[in-house]
Amino acid sequence: MDRLNVRIRGEGIAAYCCAWLLTRAGHGVELDRTDRPRVPAIMLSDLALSLIRDVFSRPDLFADLPRITQRVVAWGPAGEATALPHSAVVVSEELLLDSLRPGLTLAEGSADNQPPDFTVFASRPLPAEAHEHRFGTRLASAVEVRLRNDADVSTCWIESFDGGWLFLIPRAGAGTWLLAVGSTPERLLESSRVIGPRVELLTHRSGEFAACPRIISPLGGTDWLACGTAAMAFDPVCGDGTAHAVREAILAAAAIRAAAADRANAEAIVAHYSARLTAGFMRHLQLCREFYRSGGTGPWWTQELEALETGLAWCESAALRHGKFRYRLDGFDLVAL
């Protein structure tokens, strides 16, 4: 297998996973860190946490953190609150990356000051040939809140309204954040029967950011791949965006290693990578469609649902272009079918 010099642009969980896996495989890695705002609260499901622990060989990562053990959902016009079991931890993006950075720094290669053989785009700007496709117009914002009842710290809450939805993400001993999608936190809280009585708004808040599903095309070329949020972005209604990013990073690193070992089939490997990511994005849109069919009956929900249908049609067309899956993951390795 040829040793590649790989440049990874970005500094998020996908970039870190790619850098770690490629360096462990003996490739030179240059990590171009980016200066961007960090996400204040990330809910890591058991699946996401297991993936991260497996990639970084950190079986006890965040084992000592308090856990979310329940989620309460008030979804749809009836607005009846239903309590369901849940299992997750909540961390800031800064804490997540800080926890992984020491091991990454020890393993990180310098790429010997050579021009990269391959570039992984885990952050923007993207290559000129990459174009973004958005399926929806919904915006979100996050505001820090104080829980009125400390007993609520082990429960996450989600509630829908005519013009959007709220997601309350508690974090024991640190900031609790309220995500508002479709309208401002203040406006949605005016209609809230479940979340509103439990929180007090604080002053620390984010600006608005896109919350609709997005994907770029193409997802890779002869000497590059897109990964993480640079490749695809997910509606937060489904959760587990971190797990998606880690899976993409595992596949990206495996694809690069496979291409280094089999240069003659590099184009087919990139096509498989694109097909797999498109299939994952399509599954996400299908799940979103179920949420947006039942979340509300107003024009906002109808508009966003129509955009999701457009996205599903786009995915079907893209899947035909990519063709059938040609490889499979065996652990962290990509092998031909």
Same domain? For 218 and 207 the reply is no
Answer with the one of 211, 227, 255 that is the final residue of a domain: 211
Q: Select from 161, 178, 211 the last residue of a domain.
A: 211
- Could you read off the pLDDT of 3-25 as tens digits, one per residue? 889 999 998 999 999 999 999 99
- Residue 123 within a domain: yes
End position of a domain, from candidates 211, 231, 258: 211
Distance CA 297, CA 287 (A): 18
- For the entire predicted model, the pTM comes to 0.94
> pLDDT digit string (tens) for 210-246?
999 999 999 999 999 999 999 999 999 988 899 999 9
Choice between 277 and 2, residue whose per-residue pLDDT is larger? 277
Mean pLDDT of the chain: 92
d(CA 184, CA 142): 9
For residues 72-90, average pLDDT: 92
The domain that holds 23 is classified in CATH as 3.50.50.60
Q: Assess whether 101 and 62 both reside in one domain.
A: no
Query: For the segment 98-123, what is each residue's pLDDT rounded down to a tens digit?
Result: 999 887 754 444 445 668 999 999 99
Residues 155 and 130 in one domain: no
> Is 135's pLDDT higher than 50?
yes
Amino acid 39: pLDDT: 87
User: Are 293 and 183 in a shared domain?
Assistant: no
Domain annotation covers residue 289: yes
Distant-in-sequence, close-in-space partners of 28: CB < 8 Å, separation ≥ 6: 3, 4, 5, 6, 109, 110, 111, 112, 114
Structural domain of residue 31, as residue ranges?
Answer: 5-40+93-135+214-328
Are residues 167 and 84 both part of a single domain?
A: yes
Residue 267 and residue 131 in one domain: yes
Contact 218, 274 (CB under 8 A): yes
| Other beta carbons less than 10 A from residue 330's beta carbon | 9
